[in-house]
Structure 1
């Protein structure tokens, strides 16, 4: 304390103010005062530094606010100065911390203000160095080798800075010296080093003084006495065969594997020669328990599995310590180098994944970023990567361990909508290890497929007289795109029927041209084709139009299909009786009371299906031979096929009458020779019936008057009835066979025979050509981009037809005729429409042969009609199978 009192007296003479700065922004005053300053020492002129006038500090009660323990400074009320009130000990207040400062709060009243004052306490050298103990005992074997080192504990100084910087000195000795080592952060390590061999018999104890001095002015010191006892013990320590053992050990070595066997020897005898092995330390320390050493044999074995990825080199300090009274030990180092084996499979991470991938993505588009690593080293850590399947994706190495999964081939979502990609990583070990990382890469759709119909041409059969709104067919177009790109809407694009339409309407007559949309409609969503109104076969036989399917993509794509709608005939028309050939007024007239009486006597079934009734009169001469044609019934049916195939039946009189009617010709002829007993007049009821289901019929009443001779019958026939010609009765105008009439008849017969032969030959040739074209392979009628559909006869009638064009075999004098030749005409190609994935088809070229046959047949038919009708004879049309041909008499 004497040193401390002298310091206080030296500092009491003058107070050094190191800093008194008033910070206007923060309101803080800083002062500095040395520790151990005497009470009353002025620290600073607080009132003046705060900007107060004289006397204002006392008037406004300038004072300190104490927080916690009592402050060692106070404010002088009169002067407003900050003075020391009690002992300041920096070591007590702050310890080793620097700087040491007191933070105070100063208050002023009227108005109330708060100021912050900071007083820094500076250090003085008032503490001497101190050792932990006044003396220290050290035992040293007499046979300790030179330069043996013994650690010593240093002194401590409570001061800071240069006042705490210590230096050491050792009292003079020929056997020992002091070694001071300075490390980081100015830390010092003291060692007592033996510089000369000891001999306990000459000097068993050495006493040395260790002095510590600080850096103050004046310097203060502290001492410790070292008592060194020389011990007599074992003179020889065990010595290893080698100081360092180096071993290589694979990381997959099992537990219990012998690492190395160390060996040591001791030159002493007896108990001083016996020693044991132990593991003193290891680097790293965490692997000390991974090894064990046999204390007797020195065998070092593995206790735990090693991992090359955690530690690659392990150093073990092995000690061999003898069992003497003063045991000595020898040391060696075992360096275990861990060898890598391929025990780690590669690892694959997906750092970025950009899905879905648009099917129109450009080649080289990056789909994913991958990172690949292997914890092994060398070849075991070199990784090769591949992608499966190899297309349409590939890997591109960006830098070490990083890859990009890129698009190498164009995508098609309609073919593959999602890919399961496997990234396979394989290292270079033996055997190699692999890792697989699966990626799901969906493909997003773009509108690259146009709707496509299953058929290019649809053939639809619709019975006439169908109900309005009836479903005719269902069209379906496939669009492999998805969502809106694959949502298809249907509409009738173009087409129609009529005199101006190119689709052809058969033999039916349609006034003007009508678009297909006036006949049919197609549901925009379902594609159901419906009839807008009842269809009439007699008005429309074939309707060809285009149906368009448009998807909802952007831009929209479309596809077309041709629809050929064939109207199937129904038996909805009764046979119509025709006036006699030649027209004009004659004996034909509508039946009234008489015909009604006849119809009334008919059955109910006939009455329900019968049509009109006509009256016909004719005359025949008594004595006319059997087979003499009296009259011909002419009828036509507006239907087609079997529905228009007419047959004639004699309803009244029943039994063995004098007349009969041709089943299909309608010719009324004598069944036997006419007699007077048959009466003067015969009334015949003839029923004309078609072959439809149910059949429909019409009736004709023929009144035949029996006259005396052929002249009268011929005169009646020449009156212009047109039903029976005078020449057909075989009588002349005067009732006898004159020479002129016979000559005319002979000439007419010659021309008739020649015409019949010529026409027969041409007809046979025409029929052969027609049959060859008709029964040719069906592929010969293929037209347009799709196959044509042939209609079965059981559904339609006697003929197959498609877009029929009709031609008559003979043009009758009254212009009434029905078509007997049905041909196919080419389909109209669909209008162009964007359809990227459709492949156009070439229409077959086999149509020309059939077309030539049809033209040749039409030519022979027209020529035959011209020849027959040009002869100097009369042509009478008659009905066979509902078709008009020639009846020649």
Structure 2
């Protein structure tokens, strides 16, 4: 304690002693216009005459002081003397009064108005206020008139070492990579000292480490902390606590100090390879396990952390490289072995794999230590399982002609039990795929037969499912899809592609194309359709029309002459025979209806109905009414006559059945039933006058006997 007290007294009085020695006799003198206020230890005798020039010369010599000093934190029994105001106009007659104003005048600083002595009456703190600006003035004691202009001066508070260094941002945290070289910079810390950094050493700081050696060191002046040991290992120790001290007074004895803590964490680098926990792994798996199922896991441990511990796994050797694969689990950091292809206990019962674990992220600084990888052996045993039957093919494609006979064999499926204790197999058809029961299957040998006739034009494909079931274990079943394609045979005759109706102009020209028609066939020959067109043999020399085959498989009907008259005959029927190119070929007869129409000069159809003859001009209205009445009367007579004849069931013109049979031409075509009986009036065939005037009752083409005279 006495030594500490002596040091404090020495620190307190040393600045005062230095100040006392260094102060000049004249502490402060502020120049004025005619005289000056002097702060001096002894009066100066100057004459009023020529004083201004002499004072200017004196100020140039540099002894004029413009500030005073007072020691901070000084406290004593008496106010401390800061300085003295004095003017050369004061002859010592005590007729001059000194006045002080400005910062702290009267509260902090007090002046003796007679002697000019300035005292500090309060304890000062430089850190609170470092300087004070005041104004001094000398006035006549009796008249209070200024003897000098006011003069400004400064009182500075002299610093003492009364503030210890502080670490404002502590405690601190820093990181440095493990295995760093000696002298690697970690961080730097900074302390502050409230004392005056300009005056003395009160704010001159020196840094040192109190705790944390020999791992770290610190620069005394810059406070940069560095590693003091090379290759510190995070896996051995990850965190260090460092205690740092900052001491003022340049670190000398008697200075004040402050401390803080720094926590240094070693960050991980990839300096450790992965290592399998065991060199041999054993797994077993049933042969019927689903593809992609995880069989087992292997793990290689790594002392590093984060991405430095990430490892990738691979199968590098073994007899099961094609059947198994290994993937990396990023979360668990292990390898998952999965099945890639089906296993067969009867073929191979065990496999051996060699797996490798290697670091994903390699640090080149440590690559020379050796390979950052490790290997282990994996043995996989396949267990027997009761497997379902296996078909010889995953799918079957069968073909059958649409005219195939019932119960004929279409094809065959085969299946076997892959187990060692092979079981017999029974076959069946999934009837949900064959609702119409068009096919059957032999339960023992898998032969598929036809149960009902097939028609390609109704359905080309039939898709059924065949089921194979083990006789010893009915739960073991397998299914296979069977696609049956119906092949085409030539069983449909060609016919017109649509219902055609041609129009012929009365003023048409010979050779003019009346209509172009095309044919269609429900069959589908491999080489495509090719149609042959012809007229009936007895109509080849038709005087009215002819036909011409086009390159696009269509047919054009041409007029042989002009001068057609719709008043004479309005409709012509032209039967056309269409044959396909099948083997054997099929043919049918389609009838084209040709209607004679009235046309304009440029060939535009205007009217196709029977029109009345144009009456001669000049007939009276009475004549027209008489003609109309005659027509109505004739119609009534005809209706009554027809009604009476039908009532008696007598034919209108037909004489006997033999006449009808002699005039019917038979064709090998199917008729239209009752509709065909109304297609034309058979009585016309016996009327020699109706050769060119045959009119059907509807527009449908004839499918049966048409006489040559009708066209």
- TM-score class normalised by the smaller sequence: 0.3 to 0.5
Q: TM-score, normalised by structure 1?
A: 0.28
Q: TM-score, normalised by structure 2?
A: 0.33
